[in-house]
Amino acid sequence: MIGTISWTMADTPTLRDRTVEVLRDAILTQHFKPGEKLAERVLADETGVSRTSIREALSQLQAEGLVQRVPGKGMFVTRVTAEEAQQIYEVRAIIEAATARLFVARASDADIDALEVAVNAAEAVNEPTSALLHAQRLDAVSDIVMSGAGNDVARQMVAVLRARVTYLRTITARSASRERRGETMAMLHRIVDAYRRRDADLAEQLTRAYIERSAKFAQDVLHEA
Amino acid sequence: MIGTISWTMADTPTLRDRTVEVLRDAILTQHFKPGEKLAERVLADETGVSRTSIREALSQLQAEGLVQRVPGKGMFVTRVTAEEAQQIYEVRAIIEAATARLFVARASDADIDALEVAVNAAEAVNEPTSALLHAQRLDAVSDIVMSGAGNDVARQMVAVLRARVTYLRTITARSASRERRGETMAMLHRIVDAYRRRDADLAEQLTRAYIERSAKFAQDVLHEA
DNA sequence: GCCGGTATACCGTCATACAAGACAAAACGC
DNA sequence: GCGTTTTGTCTTGTATGACGGTATACCGGC
What's the pLDDT at A126? 76
For A59, the closest of B56, B88, B150 (CB atoms) is: B56
Q: pLDDT digit string (tens) for A154-200?
A: 999 999 999 999 999 999 988 888 899 999 999 999 999 999 999 99
| The total number of residues written for chain B in this structure | 225
B72 CB and strand C closer than 7 A: yes
Average pLDDT, rounded, for chain A: 92
Report the DSSP pairing between strands A37-38 and A74-77.
Answer: antiparallel
Assess A88–B contact: CB distance below 8 Å, yes or no.
yes
| Bridge partners (DSSP) listed for residue B37 | B76
Q: Residue A54: count other Cβ atoms within 10 Å of its Cβ.
A: 24
Who touches strand D, with Cβ under 7 Å? A 14-16, 49-53, 56, 72-73; B 37-42, 51, 55, 69, 71-75
Q: What is the CA radius of gyration of chain A?
A: 19
Query: Please, where in chain A does CATH 1.20.120.530 lie?
Result: 82-224
In strand D, which positions have an atom below 7 A from any protein CB? Answer: 11-17, 22-24
pLDDT band at A8 (very low <50, low <70, confident <90, very high): very low
For A87, the closest of B14, B55, B152 (CB atoms) is: B152
Element (H, E) at A70: strand A67-70
pLDDT band at A225 (very low <50, low <70, confident <90, very high): low
Nucleotide nearest to A41 (CA to C1'): C10
Helix axes B40-47, B51-63, angle to 10 degrees: 110
In degrees, rounded to 5, the angle at the alpha carbon of residue B185 between the alpha carbons of residues B179 and B188 is: 145
* CA distance linking residue A200 with residue A110, whole number of Å: 18
B59–A60 C-beta distance less than 8 A: yes
B95–A94 C-beta distance less than 8 A: yes
Element (H, E) at A186: helix A178-196
The CATH-assigned architecture of domain A6-77 is Orthogonal Bundle (1.10)
Residue in B208, B203, B209 with CA at minimum distance from that of residue B101: B203
Q: Residue B151: its chain A contacts at CB < 8 A?
A: 87, 90-91
Q: pLDDT digit string (tens) for A26-76?
A: 999 999 999 999 999 999 999 999 999 999 999 999 999 999 999 889 999
Helix axes A82-106, B82-106, angle to 10 degrees: 130
Average pLDDT, rounded, for chain B: 92
B115 CB and strand C closer than 7 A: no
Query: Please, where in chain A does CATH 1.10.10.10 lie?
Result: 6-77
Assess B101–A contact: CB distance below 8 Å, yes or no.
no
B153–A84 C-beta distance less than 8 A: yes
Q: Residue A95: its chain B contacts at CB < 8 A?
A: 91, 94-95
Q: pLDDT digit string (tens) for B98-107?
A: 999 999 999 9
Pick the CATH number of A82-224 from 3.40.50.300, 3.10.129.10, 3.40.50.1100, 1.20.120.530: 1.20.120.530
A63–B60 C-beta distance less than 8 A: yes
DSSP notation for B113-181: HHHHHHHHHHHH---GGGHHHHHHHHHHHHHHHHHHTT-HHHHHHHHHHHHHTHHHHHHHHHT--HHHH
Assess A59–B contact: CB distance below 8 Å, yes or no.
yes
Task: Flag whether the pTM goes above 0.75.
Answer: yes
Ranges of residues in chain B with a pLDDT under 70 are 1-12, 225
